[in-house]
Structure 1
Amino acid sequence: MAVFQAAMYAGAWFSPKIKQGIEGRKELLKKLELSLPALVNGRQVAWFHAASLGEFEQGRPVMEKFRIRYPDHFILLTFFSPSGYEIRKNYGGADHICYLPIDTKKNAMRFVQLVKPQIVFFIKYEFWFNYLRELRENNAYILSFSTIFRPGQAFFKSYGGFYRKLLTYFDHILVQNQESLDLMHQIGINNCSLAGDSRFDRVSTIADNVIDLPLIARFLEGKPCLVAGSVWEADMQVLIPALNALKEPLKVIIAPHEIKPEEIATWRKKISGSSVLYSEYKKNTDNQPYNCLIIDNIGMLSSLYRYGTVAYIGGSFGSGLHNILEAATFGLPVIFGNKGYHKFQEAKDLILEGGAVAVADSNEITQLLSNWNHNPEIRMAIGDISRNYVVSRKGATDKIMQETEKLLDR
Structure 2
Amino acid sequence: MLWIYNIGIVIYGLFVRLASLFNAKAKLFVAGRKNGFEKIAQKINPTDRPIWYHFASLGEFEQGRPVLEKLKSAYPDVKVVVTFFSPSGYEIRKNYPLADGIFYLPLDTAGNAKKFVALVNPRLAIFTKYEFWYHYFKTLHRQQIPIYLISGIFRPNQLFFKSYGGFYRKMLGFVKHFFVQNEESVQLLKGIGLDKVSLSGDTRFDRVYENALQPKQLPEIEAFCGQAPILMAGSTWPADEKLLVELANQNPDWKFIIAPHEIGASHISEIELLFPNAVKFSVLGSQLAQTSNLKSQILIIDNIGMLSSLYQYGQLAYIGGGFGAGIHNTLEAVAFGLPVIFGPKYDKFQEAKDLIAIGIAQSISNENELLNAFNELKSNAELPLKAKAYIENKKGATDMIVGHVKEEIKL
- Fold shared by both chains (TM-score > 0.5): yes
Partner of 2:334: 328
Distance in 2, matches of 1:52 and 1:371, equals 34
Distance in 2, matches of 1:349 and 1:132, equals 32
Q: Deviations over 1:118-159 (max 9, x none)?
A: 011011112111111111122212111101110011100111
Is 1:30 the counterpart of 2:18? The answer is no
AA partner of residue 405 (structure 1): K
Partner of 1:2: 10
AA partner of residue 2 (structure 1): V
Q: Deviations over 1:324-350 (max 9, x none)?
A: 00000000010111x211111111110
Number of corresponding residues = 400
Structure 1 window deviating more from structure 2 (148-157 vs 263-272): it is: 263-272
Partner of 1:145: 150
Distance 1:127 1:269, change over 3 A: closer
How far is 1:365 from its partner?
Answer: 2.3
Secondary structure in 1 aligned to 2:355? Answer: helix
Partner of 2:279: 276
Secondary structure in 1 aligned to 2:286? Answer: coil
How far is 1:68 from its partner?
Answer: 0.9
Partner of 1:354: 359
Secondary structure in 1 aligned to 2:321? Answer: coil
Distance 1:371 1:181, change over 3 A: closer
AA partner of residue 364 (structure 1): E
Partner of 1:103: 108
Distance 1:283 1:181, change over 3 A: same
AA partner of residue 203 (structure 1): V
Secondary structure in 1 aligned to 2:73? Answer: helix
Partner of 1:249: 253
In the TM superposition, 1:80-159 aligns within 5 A as 80-159=85-164
Is 1:306 the counterpart of 2:307? The answer is no
Secondary structure in 1 aligned to 2:155? Answer: coil
Distance in 2, matches of 1:35 and 1:324, equals 36
For the Cα contact (< 8 Å) 1:228–1:255, is it kept in 2?
A: yes
How far is 1:302 from its partner?
Answer: 0.5
AA partner of residue 279 (structure 1): S
Provide the identity percentage: 46
Q: Which of 297, 303, 317 is residue 303 of structure 2 equivalent to?
A: 297
Distance in 2, matches of 1:87 and 1:260, equals 15
Secondary structure in 1 aligned to 2:395? Answer: coil
Distance in 1, matches of 2:179 and 2:200, equals 6
How far is 1:14 from its partner?
Answer: 4.8
Q: Deviations over 1:211-259 (max 9, x none)?
A: 111111111112100010000101011111221123x500111101010
**Structure 1 stretches lacking a partner, 5+ long:** none
In the TM superposition, 1:11-90 aligns within 5 A as 11-37=19-45, 42-90=47-95
RMSD, aligned CA: 1.6
AA partner of residue 385 (structure 1): K
How far is 1:27 from its partner?
Answer: 1.0
Q: Deviations over 1:26-60 (max 9, x none)?
A: 111123223322xx6x4331000000011101110
**Structure 2 stretches lacking a partner, 5+ long:** 1-8
